[in-house]
Structure 1
Amino acid sequence: MRNKALVKVEIIRSTTNGKIISYKSEGHAYYDEPGKDIVCAGVSAIIFGTYNSIEALLGIVSKHTIHAGFFRVDIPERIDPKTFEQVQLLLESMVVMLNSIQESYGEFLTIKETIR
């Protein structure tokens, strides 16, 4: 049996208001062979889809870092309050979707929330 690897997602929330200010994902699930790994595909679709939705629907371009097995997004600090709440709705939706994957495939995905 091969060693199990994990996709690790960290949701970073503000100490002042508990809102999501950043998120990152790293690692590989190795649930199945590349191209058939539904855990990696699901997590990737959610985290990249959320980033793309924030940009396409709200016009917010977030600072991001991407390389093999790693993706980090930092939400800009200066957004008007209405748009910020819309960004938060998309981000909280992302968390719900990730939690749904974790419920079924928890040995391949960990989700950690950090307050900063």
Structure 2
Amino acid sequence: MITITIVRNDSDKRIVSFAVVGHAKYAKPGKDIVCAGVSTVSIGTVNAIETLAGVELPAKMKDGWLSSDIPILPDADADGRMQLLLESMVVMLETIAKSYGKYVVIHEQLR
């Protein structure tokens, strides 16, 4: 199962970190559309933030594991773009979890 944890700031609900851990085991490696979908969305979001917001996230990635602590940017426009991309990631991951809930679970926490 893939476990996704989204951590938000308690006061303003801003995303402050996320982690994606595990393998779906929906199908054999190389044929697992659930793992591929989650990987595409999460890694694509990190890449989009770097390209569109100009922010290199402190992301860590290993086989079956991606996490990042999200910095607060002094540039409000870049910070807003980054948070919009992160919220978009959450929506896409929730869409996958709705269709494949046996293989993907999302937890949101406040910090």
TM-score class, shorter-chain normalisation, is: over 0.9
Which protein is bigger by CA-based radius of gyration? 1
Cα RMSD of the aligned pairs, angstroms, is 0.9
Unmatched tracts of structure 1, length 5 or more: 1-5
1:42 aligned partner, one-letter code:
G
* 2:3 corresponds to 1:8: yes
Q: What is the aligned length?
A: 111
Q: Give 5+ residue unaligned stretches, structure 2.
A: none
Q: Please state if 1:18 is matched with 2:26.
A: no
> How many angstroms apart in 1 are the aligned matches of 2:81 and 2:52?
10
Letter in structure 1 aligned against 2:5: E
TM-score w.r.t. the length of structure 2 is 0.96
CA distance in 1, matches of 2:110, 2:14: 9
Name the % identity: 44
Once the two structures are superposed, what CA deviation does each residue of 1:59-78 show, in whole Å capped at 9, x if it has no partner?
10111111121110111123
8 Å CA contact retained: 2:52, 2:81: no
Runs of 4+ with >3 A deviation? none
SS class of match (1:62): coil
The counterpart of 1:39, out of the listed 29, 34, 38, is 34
1:83 lines up with 2:100 in the alignment: no
Structure 1 CA distance for aligned equivalents of residues 109 and 18 of structure 2: 10
Q: TM-score by structure 1 length?
A: 0.92
